Structures are given as C-alpha cells and as structure tokens.
Amino acid sequence: MAAVTETIDTVNAVNDGGYKYGFSTDIEMEFAPKGLNEDTVRYISAQKNEPEWLLEWRLRAFAVWKTMEEPRWSSAKYPPIDYQDAYYYAAPKEKIGPKSLDEVDPELLRTYEKLGIPLREQEWLAGVQPEGRMPVAVDAVFDSVSVATSYKDRLAKEGIIFCPISEAVQEHPELVRKYLGSVVPQGDNFFAALNSAVFTDGSFVYIPKGVRCPMELSTYFRINAKSTGQFERTLIIADVGSQVSYLEGCTAPMRDENQLHAAVVELVALDDASIKYSTVQNWYPGDANGKGGIYNFVTKRAACRGKRSKVSWTQVETGSAITWKYPSCILQGEDSVGEFYSVAIANNWQQADTGTKMIHIGARTKSTIVSKGISAGQGQNTYRGLVRISPRAKGARNFTQCDSLLIGDKCGAHTVPYIENRCMTAKTEHEATTSRIAEDQLFYCRQRGLSQEEAVGMIVNGFCREVLKELPMEFAVEAQKLLQISLEGSVG
C-alpha cells in the first residue's frame, strides 16, 4: 500500500494534471507494411510462426470482415476510419518473448517504471515476491507483442497456464484450437472479425480442474508505436471447479491522431468454475479539445457453460476518446451467475457507449448489473444493455441498476436498457437514477478543507463505491485516484 501511494504521488508530481501516461518510448520497432489485405494477415501469421489451421482461421475472418460494415448504431460520433492507413503489426525489434528480465530492452523496463501499477513493481516482472503481499503474475503486451510474463514457473506447478497467446498457440494448440472463437466467433461483429484476422498477441490462461489460482493474474496493455492499432486477443478457460481473478490495465502515449484498439476477450467457465475479470482502462482520451485519443472498440464475452459457473466483469473506464464495449455473459449452465459492475467516465469530448448483455439460457440463472456513468465537460455517456431471458431459463433473475452523474451543463447521460423476457417464471428488475454533483455537497467538503478537486473526487468515488469495492485492493486504490485525475478541471 505504501508503495502504491508513493508511486501515485510521484506520478502526480511529475505530471501537471493532464494524462499521466502520455510519454512514448523510443524503441526500435519492426512494422508490417501499412494497410490491410490478405498479405498483412499472412505476414502476421508468419511472424508468429503459426500453424496452418490458424492462418486459415484468420483468413476466413478476414474474408468475412471484408463483407461487413462498420457498426454505427452506437451513440458515438466520429469521422470514418481509414483501415488502410494504419499499421497492423508493430513489435519491439527485440526477439519475441524474452524469457528473463535481462533479455528485455532496458528502455522497455523504463517504460514500465513510468507506467506504475501494476507494472510499477519491477519485482513482479522479475518474479520476486514482495514480502507480506499477494503476488501478482503479470503478462505485459507492448504494441503487438507480449514482452514478459512473470511467475510462470510457480503457476506451472499448479498446472496453470498463463502465457502470451502466441506462445499458447505453439505450446498448447489443442486448447487454443478448441476454445478460440468459441465464445466470440470470427464473424460476430465487424471489430471482432477484424481482430480475428489480425490479432497479434494477448494473454492465454488455463486453470485446470479444481485449482484455485493462488495469485491475481494481470495483463498490461500498452500502445506505443504511432499509427498502430492494437488488436489483442485474450482467452481464459476455467475448467471444472476452478477459480481465477484476472486484471487488465491499459495506457497509451499522447498522440494527436486517433488510434484504434479492437480487442477480443473470451472467457469460458465450466461447471462450478468462477472467473473474475477486472479492467482499469486508461487509454489516452484525447486532449481538452477532443483531438487524438484511442478508439476503444472491444468485444468481451463470457460463456458460463457449466452448471453453477460464475463470471464477474468489473470495469473502470476512464480513458479512450470513444469506448464501445459491452462485456457480456451467456448464462448457459443451470444456476450460472453473471455480474457486471461498471464505472465509465466521459469528460471533455470523450464518448462512452458501454454496457452489457446478459443472455439467460439455463434454468435459475442469475445476473446483476450495476452501471455508474459519469459525464463531465462535453462528455457523452451511454449505458446500453440487454437482458434476454429465453423460455428455458425458468426461475431466472436479473437485477439492473444504472446511475448517471452529471457534472456541468454541457454533458449528456443516456440509458438504453433492453429487456426481453420470454419466461413466465423469470424476474427482472431495473432501477435508474440521474443526479448532479450538488453545489451544497461541494461547499460542504470545501468548508472542511478539501480542495474542489478533492471534493469532486470524493463525491464521485462515493457514487461509484458499489463498483469499486468489487475491484481487487491494489487496483481499487489506483482506480479511485484515476477517477479523480480524470475529472480534474471538470468543475468550476
């Protein structure tokens, strides 16, 4: 904890209230030629030394993608994206997948130093367990390549696989082949198809039967190179009776162009398995005038295939110029449980269109949705959610709560909940509120000595409490700080 606070203070001291992760790292990079065609797909596949089946899988995805149109149904407004004007593969020139810290470019390590949580702990990467603290295993993805995975050996003793997906393709092809695309098929949507064609790296996790993962698993994503999209693919499989908690963090340098991030995350939970997936998303949101920033167009979906399986999504979305993201649960197994806890901030010119889908198929499936949207500046925040209950889902339950907080008078909050209930014995509940930070609340805090920024931070954190308490401790501290930083200058 002390280290966390210290680092946050250091980061705050260095920066002047803007985006905290806006530095870029000067590393020799290797790029695929600009643009996207079949050759790009082949190039990526060849770089990763992939088996034939995966190349074909990618090519099928690319063929589907070409026939699809970019979805424009979200409330986000942005100019057309030129998919030919971007690099689809960028990798540090270092050889792929260094096995120890000594092999990692020191410049890269300095980047991690600057990044802070969760990679601020150099020892995490070095695989040294800090005394008296739960270890966190980290996989770091830098542009298109996973550069370091820590604690691998210790995890391997439990039979847990935690490695870059490119490595899993080589080492555990049977698992990858069985589950890749089984939750989000190649042609699921425009961005998922694009990702399937050109995904570069990401994390792979397999927790064997009956194993409780002894530590938090974490992936850190960083877009560094210019004009580069990041298309990572994450696949997590929790076998029967297993448990895992996984954290994801992301940052990018400040650039005045928009960069595309189109990730796919697939989770599979078998009988009695449980997966907790937490995200603190802090991609560069663009400047105060809405220039630059990441387009965060992400497909995340979990299949609760097994009986009594459980998947819990927690997300804190503070960054990105545009967020288009609906982490969902397909509740197939009887008595399976899906949860979605979300905080999304739209400040300045940010646009967030986010929510979840809970698809109830199995009997007595349960889902909980708690969404907290905060709009400030000219920000536009939309909750978009679907609760679908099939005729078979007897006794299914859903509870949805959507709260919006407005700061200032030029922002917007929108709630678009769809509920489709085809089962007589199912119950759904929906609650929604919209509120403002009241002047008397701010004055009360300031009268007690808090600055305006601290007061806003405190009130916003209070508003988000139900979601923040779902985050693992170390992340919760960072998230609280992030919320405050993201809203600096939004009042007064």
By CB under 8 A, which span of 61-69, 155-163, 316-324, 446-454 interacts with another protein? 446-454
Please tell me whether residue 452 binds another protein under the rule CB under 8 A: yes
Of positions 107, 425, 451, 473, contacts another protein by CB under 8 A: 451
In 50-199, alpha helices (H): 52-67, 106-115, 122-126, 152-157, 165-171, 173-179, 190-198
Residue type, 313: W
Of positions 441, 488, 489, 491, contacts another protein by CB under 8 A: 441
Q: How far is the CB of 166 from another protein (least distance, A)?
A: 42
Q: How far is the CB of 7 from another protein (least distance, A)?
A: 18
Given a contact cutoff of 8 angstroms between Cβ atoms, the answer to whether 280 and 244 are in contact is no
Q: Which of 347, 328, 341 is nearest to 371 (CA)?
A: 341
Distance CA 366, CA 393 (A): 10
Please tell me whether residue 227 binds another protein under the rule CB under 8 A: no
Q: How far is the CB of 466 from another protein (least distance, A)?
A: 7
Q: How far is the CB of 386 from another protein (least distance, A)?
A: 27
Please tell me whether residue 6 binds another protein under the rule CB under 8 A: no
Segment 454-473, which members bind another protein (CB under 8 A)?
A: 454, 458-459, 461-466
List Cβ neighbours of 18 (8 Å cut-off, separation of 6 or more).
254, 287
Please tell me whether residue 409 binds another protein under the rule CB under 8 A: no
- Specify the residue, 126 or 450, whose C-beta has the smaller distance to another protein: 450
Segment 49-78, which members bind another protein (CB under 8 A)?
A: none
- Specify the residue, 95 or 465, whose C-beta has the smaller distance to another protein: 465
List Cβ neighbours of 62 (8 Å cut-off, separation of 6 or more).
38, 41, 193, 196, 197, 198
Q: How far is the CB of 468 from another protein (least distance, A)?
A: 9
Give the three-state DSSP class for 143. coil
Dump strand ranges (E) for 361-459.
366-376, 380-389, 397-407, 412-421, 427-436
Please tell me whether residue 79 binds another protein under the rule CB under 8 A: no
List Cβ neighbours of 424 (8 Å cut-off, separation of 6 or more).
none
Please tell me whether residue 491 binds another protein under the rule CB under 8 A: no
DSSP state letter for 230: B
Please tell me whether residue 341 binds another protein under the rule CB under 8 A: no
- Specify the residue, 53 or 443, whose C-beta has the smaller distance to another protein: 443
DSSP state letter for 349: T
Q: How far is the CB of 91 from another protein (least distance, A)?
A: 44
DSSP state letter for 32: P
- Based on the number of CB atoms within 10 Å of its own CB, is 154 exposed (0-12), middle (13-18) or buried (19 or more)? middle
- Specify the residue, 68 or 450, whose C-beta has the smaller distance to another protein: 450
Please tell me whether residue 182 binds another protein under the rule CB under 8 A: no
Distance CA 175, CA 184 (A): 16
Q: What's 288-310 look like in SS3? A: CCCCCEEEEEEEEEEEECCCCCE
Give the three-state DSSP class for 213. coil
Distance CA 369, CA 339 (A): 6
Please tell me whether residue 448 binds another protein under the rule CB under 8 A: yes
- Specify the residue, 410 or 446, whose C-beta has the smaller distance to another protein: 446
Of positions 11, 294, 393, 445, contacts another protein by CB under 8 A: 445
Size of the site for another protein (CB under 8 A): 23
Would you tell me which residues interact with another protein (CB under 8 A)?
Answer: 438-441, 443-452, 454, 458-459, 461-466
